[in-house]
A and B are shown apart, each in its own frame.
Chain A
Amino acid sequence: MLDFFQFFSPTRIVGGAPGLLGQLGPELEPFRRKKVGIVMDPVIEGLNLIDVLQPSLREAGMEVVATFADVPQDSDIPIVQRAATEFSKAGVEMLFAIGGGSVIDTAKAANIVLTHGGDLRDYQGAQILTHPLLPLVAVPTTVGTGSEVTMVSVVVDREDHRKLTFIDRTLAPTLAVLDPGVTYSLPTRLVATTAMDALTHALEAFIDLEHSPLSDAWAVAAANLIRQNLLPALAPSGFEEARANLQVASAMAGVAFNHSMVGIVHALAHSLGGVAGVPHGLANMLMLTEGLTSNLAVAADRIAEVGLRSEFISKQREHTPVIATAQDVIDELVRFRRQVTETADLPHSLRGAGVTENQLTFLVERASEDGSLVYNPRTVPPEEILQMYKNVMGE
């Protein structure tokens, strides 16, 4: 019997040919003449994407009254508060987020402060927002976050290295723009790590407690697209179509995990980000198969099913327990990851990613209190978390 489930995906998603960003007049028409505030990071600012967007804004009579381009790799509370203050002074009536997950999450969190006032920390929690938010247009420039379609925002509290979580249905962006053109200038390493983040979203969404037939469909489609397109997207040339497919897959994985959330792999990764500054996608990539292995005992059927349906493996083993098939899936993911790591010249171990032994205790502590664990199919004790980190520590 199925448990209660629901499906809700309020974000309008538009995609198409490269350059879509400059042709959004029809989509922006409902927001005619609104004053726009744009959130970006310094790298994106250098790409002059605002110039690409300008014709769309002009067509809808919209004016950019504030630009905030100071978002770091993992956004934090002072950044959000500052963006909100600047936008409020400028009379911003709608937001654009152009960037990766950190940028989009900053825009979501700033939106809370802009419409609810006060201290961002007071709005941590689930479904607690009381006022309508400003319209938000999200333009993802990486191929992994999924934040362009989710109702979640994660912001770091640097004072105690914790990630604060904000979950509310109204946080989902109004419009997500998938312009493949913005991925073309993405460095190979970033394509690899962010796509592996998206793959982790898809796999965890499928395996987690709150999965449903609807989230499953999105997760499988995303995982399959990533399997087929990730390596071609890392090629030195001719990567355009593959990157476009990854961009779509990332949004699909976002829709999936917006329902069933993420699990142990993300708990391990969030901690690696907060404590050791390991980039989110790389952290997920390094911990992915450890996390899956720890769920083998309780979720072998789900791991086997997602591997088969997304065609990481082609057939189920006959006359053997399902755990053997699940193990095949994990082995294949190890192989897949090795290819990605080598092609994109990424670190193979936590040590290679800058993690040191003396951070292990703190890493375990933060991972074991991560919100993603609620959704994982089993509770993972701290000793086991420590072992998982040690297994990936490397020479």
Chain B
Amino acid sequence: MALFKDEEDVYAVLGTFFRNASRDETMGPAIQKSGLIIQFEYSDPASILTIDATEAADGAYFAVIEGRTEKKPDVHMTMKADIANQFWLGKLNLLAALSRRQMVAKGPIPKIVKLLPAIQPAYKMYQEYLQKIGRSELLGY
């Protein structure tokens, strides 16, 4: 059974989390500085989240777009939504996931690599966030 009920559920949980992160002082600036458009295409349930660091507005360091967009991403990552949840919990071995094709990364990987140290605080933040929004069932995976 997939962890997220439907597309809307992915946006409600991960979309909102990304938007919170877009205002975060510790992570926002580094992501903005990358100037990247990063697209996450999920399956089970099918859904798309895009982070656009070329566009910042309303006190956010980058824009978060739910669903299809005309924007051409620099980096495109494909995975099951469950894998995304695991990643943001900090429980996924990223390298093993890439070599097992649980996660497929298309584009200049080094640019993403450069962001990894910057997003370290996100893992703890995601765990706390899930507690706060009453979705602690997502923590166990």
Contact = CB atoms under 8 A, between A and B. Distances in A.
B113 A124 contact: no
B77 to A, nearest CB: 9
Interface stretch (B8-16, B17-25, B52-60, B99-107): B99-107
Given A4-B96, A6-B99, A126 B109 contact: yes
Contacts of B98: 126-127
A96 B105 CA distance: 29
Contacts of B124: none
B109 A124 contact: yes
A369 B104 contact: no
Contacts of A370: 110, 113
Given A125-B105, A125-B109, A368 B114 contact: yes
B110 A369 contact: yes
A163 B111 CA distance: 11
Nearest to A121: B108
Contact of B110 (A127, A162, A375): A162
B94 interface: yes
Given A3-B93, A6-B99, A374-B95, A124 B117 contact: no
Contact of B94 (A6, A164, A165, A374): A374
Given A374-B116, A379-B117, A164 B96 contact: no
B114 A126 contact: no
Contact of A4 (B93, B106, B107): B93
A124 B96 CA distance: 18
A210 interface: yes
A370 B111 CA distance: 8
Contact of B99 (A127, A162, A164, A373): A127
B96 A369 contact: no
Nearest to A128: B106
A146 to B, nearest CB: 17
Nearest to B108: A124
Nearest to A374: B113
A210 B99 CA distance: 11
B107 A124 contact: yes
A10 interface: no
Interface string A372-395: 011100010000000000000000
15 contacts: A3-B96, A4-B93, A5-B96, A124-B106, A125-B104, A125-B109, A126-B99, A126-B105, A162-B110, A163-B110, A261-B95, A369-B111, A369-B113, A370-B110, A375-B95
Q: Which 8 A-B pairs have the closest CB atoms?
A: A369-B114, A125-B106, A371-B110, A4-B96, A126-B98, A128-B106, A369-B110, A125-B105
Given A127-B104, A163-B110, A374-B113, 5 more contacts: A126-B99, A128-B104, A162-B108, A165-B109, A379-B117
